[in-house]
Amino acid sequence: VRWMMYWIVFALFMATETFTDLLISWFPFYYEVKMAFVLWLLSPYTRGASLLYRRFVHPTLSRKEKDIDTFLVRTRERGYETMLHFGKRGLNLAATAAVQAAAKSQGALAGRLRSFSMQDLRSIPDEG
């Protein structure tokens, strides 16, 4: 549980830091403070990640739980519909390609058979 709290808080920190890094990276000792913050999160003595998770992240997630669940259900339904749509489309493309290949190969086979003379066809041994 401790590691789960750490990775959730660290992921939120990294996502936030991606945007704020451009704005505040010019502050003196910015990188040193950032490293100290990560060590504070990670340390088993300070339990910084656990503190932040219990004080901020968990209450926010609890308040938004119904919205998150609704979003997940909607996303699952859309994903299923999208999968069906692209699956049907892929099968249609494969069927069209197969029919076109069969038509082309049949035409090529007929052309080759026409190129044989009756003499060539009589020279093939009869196995019937």
Question: So what's the pLDDT on residue 73?
Answer: 92
Q: What is the pLDDT of residues 22-77, one digit of tens each?
A: 888 888 898 899 999 999 988 888 889 999 999 999 999 899 999 999 999 999 99
Please give the Cα distance from 54 to 40 (Å, whole number): 15
Its pTM surpasses 0.85: no
Q: Where are the alpha helices (DSSP H) in 25-64?
A: 30-42, 48-52, 58-63
